[in-house]
Structure 1
Amino acid sequence: MNRLLKTAAAVSASLLILSACGSNSGASDDSASASGVISADDCVDPDAATAEITDTLKVGWSAATSGPLADAVGNVIEGMEARFAVENEAGGIDGVDLEVIVKDDAFNPERAKANVGELIQSEGVDVLDTFGSGQLDAVADDQNDACVPLLFGQASVPAYRDIENFPWTTEYLPSADVEMEVVVEGLKEKYPDGATVALAENQTESGQGYADGFKKAVEGTDFEIVATEPLTDPNTAASALKASGAQILVDAGVTTDCLALTQAIGRVGWKPETVIQPSNCADGATLYEPAGEAADGQQILRWLKDPANEAFADDPAVTEYLEQSEANGADSPTNSYTVNGWAIADLMIDNFHRASESEDGLSRLSIMEAARTQDYQPPMFIDGITFQMSPTQAFGILAFQPYTWDAAAKTFVEAGEVIDISSNYE
């Protein structure tokens, strides 16, 4: 039975006060407190949820290490492993080492569900992560029943930000609704009288989340969606959407769609006035540069510093990241997905340290309590952008900086200041 249909029996009425301190100088607050509503009372195994973690803290991943997403997923895990290696060299979490255990799900939700069962029961992991909204949908009920924290899931759908029904789950990627709200705000500045929009939709839950988020964001505006096409075949979609004559093309897609759709619109000779790519299409070298001129001017919202961009060449955090990641086995440190994995590890480590310093010590429960009270800026986040969580707000990323792709320079260039809409979600 889907947890959205269950009562919130796993949520305690008692309030637990925690300290929410960042683990390095990138923290947005030196000390902040918040109330948590996480309880182990209704866990399948309450003792396991509250048992102190000693020796090794295991993070279990179910992710597509085979298939078309394998390169991006591999880089995310590479970045996480490198960051964990740095932490282990520094003594770990008060003497507890960090370990990553990966199982391939080939981007198949049913395989992800089986993997998570094995990771919990056979591997005894303390924390979980997964890649994809369909995968998160497949595992969230079992993972919440088992009270194993799933932290910073690589998904953007709003459903799993429902703290009452999914108290042991958090997402890393920006909410599709939040991201599309910011996208539309930017379009309003460029098109004050509105414009026509063509929408390319990936048919997975991730793609539909973006599509639904955009449709919601344009309600009541002067923007008109004049054509919608599935991304099952990017070439067919490009031809059909070109026929609409839309001024704006929005890619409601996943990582594998970004380059494919750009190359398709180039083949059919269509150059919309504005092309919006989802924030998951972040790597310039692999997703934009191969498309040549067809990708020029495409827009994206970003929250991570880009070590491949000369604008960050003198950034101390980027310099340290490059040195440490290369020294600890990262083969592609300038790849945006490697940076992504490193930043996720930074966020986890911040939670682990605060959990370890809590009255009850390091456990699954204290880790989840820390995750629900996080206000932290990883060093590789763009200045002015933090990851914010509370017992009543689970959006995480609520600020972005807009960038456009410069095909001639083969790099992203700033297209405005950081846009922070956190006040809309207080």
Structure 2
Amino acid sequence: MKRTSLTALGVSAALLLSACGSGSDDETTTGASAAPGSISAADCADPDAATAKITGTLKVGWSAPLSGPLAAAVGAVIDGMKGRFAVANAAGGIGGVKVEVVAKDDAFNPERAKSNVNELIQKDGVHVLETFGSGQVNAVADDQNEQCVPLLFGQASLPAYKDAKNFPWTTEYLPSADAEMKAVVAGLKAKYPSGTDIALAANQTESGQSYADGFKKAIEGTNLKIVKEAPLTDPNAAATTLKATGAKVLVDAGVTTDCLALSQAVGRSGWKPETFVQPANCVDGKTLYEPAGDAADGQQVMVWLKDPGNALYKDDAGVKQYLADAQAQGVKLPLNSYTVNGWVIADMMVDAFTKAAASGDGLSKLGIIKTARTQTYQPPMFIDGIKWQMSPENSLGIGGFRPFTWSASKKTFEPAGDVIDISGAN
């Protein structure tokens, strides 16, 4: 069965962090046309392939920007994933089944991602898929749902694909913009009880607009007011335009490549916002904050992963184990936040694979997606008090954040509050 595309439905796509409404309950679905929680292989293009037990090697297919400006960050993510899978394989794999990553370059182009995913499914015979970017998830979800190949922890947060009924074989890793922005706005309300003016810099991609929309939704009914929004197509122009507003708060509704560029542009303009909020995908201090010098000092970001290079976690058991395992597997940049991100995604996959193997459906595509749809887990590299929580009714995923601010003098992030529980936000 072919589902009406999201573009045709006019669903506003989002990224690396977003959430609004999901698709209509009247849409035709593939893979599982019944209610959430009752995923079936009956409507799959090849039901036998969906239920077949995986033996020998479990292949995780990646369509990722291995070239272009995001290549270094995504390369670190994949390196971290491979390192965690190597640990699992060294311990005997998933009941003797080894895990392997098969990666193809899409240059951050959704159409190339679509082509890659079809090739990964049809030619490479992968059992699980992964991709990076909202446009990419939007481009591939119809095909992978029709073929019933689980897309696990996609690096995006499109609200429609958090709908387990209409897209049962797709799960996303990144927290929704609504959830993250609720946490951000809660902090702003506490800091500015009488309200304040806000300048918003927004990336014009699906990802950035998702973030911007999430922030706008979160400030509804508050005394916080966006006085100017500027596109991030030219960070210098955006900084100049937004500086002229005199706003005390600057919010970056951007993607990874915007974080440093906007910081440097704001610094060159001579503007020092009282509060500068970066998106949660901007968490690597070495590459995204340190090069900006004093311009990045005090910038805030919401975090859910432990930073193995931060003295705050020097005695943390999870961090110690991660560093020992990463070193043993020859991981290139173990302190890089993107490497940690990839390691954690693989760790969550290993948890899902292990639980699927012990389930009634066994280690199969169907067993894996059923497990992923009901997975509750606290990865050792998640900040204590933050869990991964999935249910058929609520694809929440990341259940909280802890705010941190960047110290330019110490060249590290410092905690700026306790964990903010968002488990009630979806």
1:108 maps to amino acid = N
Task: Give the match for residue 11 of structure 2.
Answer: none
Q: Percent identity between the aligned chains?
A: 67
Task: Give the match for residue 88 of structure 1.
Answer: 89
Task: Give the match for residue 262 of structure 2.
Answer: 261
Q: Distance in 1 between matches of 2:116 and 2:364?
A: 22
Task: Give the match for residue 312 of structure 1.
Answer: 313
Runs of 5+ unmatched residues, structure 2: 7-22
Q: Larger deviation: 117-126 or 151-160?
A: 151-160
Q: Deviations over 1:291-317 (max 9, x none)?
A: 000000000000000011011111111
Task: Give the match for residue 2 of structure 1.
Answer: 5
Q: Indicate if the aligned counterparts of 2:305 and 2:382 stay in contact, CA closer than 8 A.
A: yes
Q: Deviations over 1:211-245 (max 9, x none)?
A: 00000001111011000011011011111111111
1:424 positional shift: 4.5
Task: Give the match for residue 420 of structure 2.
Answer: 419
Task: Give the match for residue 345 of structure 2.
Answer: 344
1:7 positional shift: 2.2
Task: Give the match for residue 296 of structure 2.
Answer: 295
Q: Indicate if the aligned counterparts of 1:295 and 1:407 stay in contact, CA closer than 8 A.
A: yes
Q: Indicate if the aligned counterparts of 2:31 and 2:169 stay in contact, CA closer than 8 A.
A: no
Task: Give the match for residue 115 of structure 2.
Answer: 114
Q: Larger deviation: 356-365 or 86-95?
A: 356-365
Task: Give the match for residue 47 of structure 1.
Answer: 48
1:36 positional shift: 2.4
Matched, 1:72 2:93: no
Flag the 1:153–1:391 CA change in 2: closer, same or farther, 3 A: same
1:421 positional shift: 2.2
Q: Deviations over 1:353-378 (max 9, x none)?
A: 01000122110000000001111000
Q: Indicate if the aligned counterparts of 1:157 and 1:205 stay in contact, CA closer than 8 A.
A: no
- Secondary structure of residue in 2 paired with 1:317: helix
Q: Indicate if the aligned counterparts of 2:396 and 2:423 stay in contact, CA closer than 8 A.
A: no
Supply the RMSD in Å over aligned alpha carbons.
Answer: 1.2
1:11-410 alignment, distance < 5 Å:
11=32, 13=34, 36-410=37-411
TM-score for the superposition, normalised by structure 1? 0.93
Q: Distance in 2 between matches of 1:234 and 1:119?
A: 37
Q: Distance in 1 between matches of 2:135 and 2:381?
A: 28
Q: Indicate if the aligned counterparts of 1:399 and 1:419 stay in contact, CA closer than 8 A.
A: yes
Q: How many residues are treated as equivalent by the alignment?
A: 405
Structure that is richer in strand per residue: 1
Q: Distance in 2 between matches of 1:424 and 1:277?
A: 20
1:12 positional shift: 5.0
Q: Distance in 1 between matches of 2:178 and 2:336?
A: 26
Q: Deviations over 1:174-233 (max 9, x none)?
A: 111111111101111111111111111111111111000000001111011000011011
Q: Distance in 2 between matches of 1:143 and 1:197?
A: 40
Flag the 1:280–1:424 CA change in 2: closer, same or farther, 3 A: closer
1:136 maps to amino acid = V
Q: Distance in 1 between matches of 2:31 and 2:346?
A: 27
Q: Distance in 2 between matches of 1:304 and 1:219?
A: 29
Q: Distance in 1 between matches of 2:261 and 2:425?
A: 34
Q: Indicate if the aligned counterparts of 1:59 and 1:126 stay in contact, CA closer than 8 A.
A: yes
1:315 maps to amino acid = D
Q: Larger deviation: 184-193 or 35-44?
A: 35-44
Q: Distance in 2 between matches of 1:174 and 1:162?
A: 14
1:146 maps to amino acid = Q
Task: Give the match for residue 20 of structure 2.
Answer: none
Q: Indicate if the aligned counterparts of 2:33 and 2:43 stay in contact, CA closer than 8 A.
A: no
- Secondary structure of residue in 1 paired with 2:207: helix
- Secondary structure of residue in 2 paired with 1:163: coil
Q: Larger deviation: 157-166 or 400-409?
A: 157-166
- Secondary structure of residue in 1 paired with 2:50: helix
Q: Indicate if the aligned counterparts of 1:77 and 1:338 stay in contact, CA closer than 8 A.
A: yes
- Secondary structure of residue in 2 paired with 1:40: coil
Q: Indicate if the aligned counterparts of 2:290 and 2:408 stay in contact, CA closer than 8 A.
A: yes
Q: Distance in 1 between matches of 2:141 and 2:248?
A: 39
1:401 maps to amino acid = R
Q: Distance in 2 between matches of 1:240 and 1:159?
A: 33
Runs of 5+ unmatched residues, structure 1: 15-34
- Secondary structure of residue in 1 paired with 2:42: coil
- Secondary structure of residue in 2 paired with 1:111: helix
1:10 positional shift: 3.7
- Secondary structure of residue in 2 paired with 1:251: strand
1:270 maps to amino acid = W
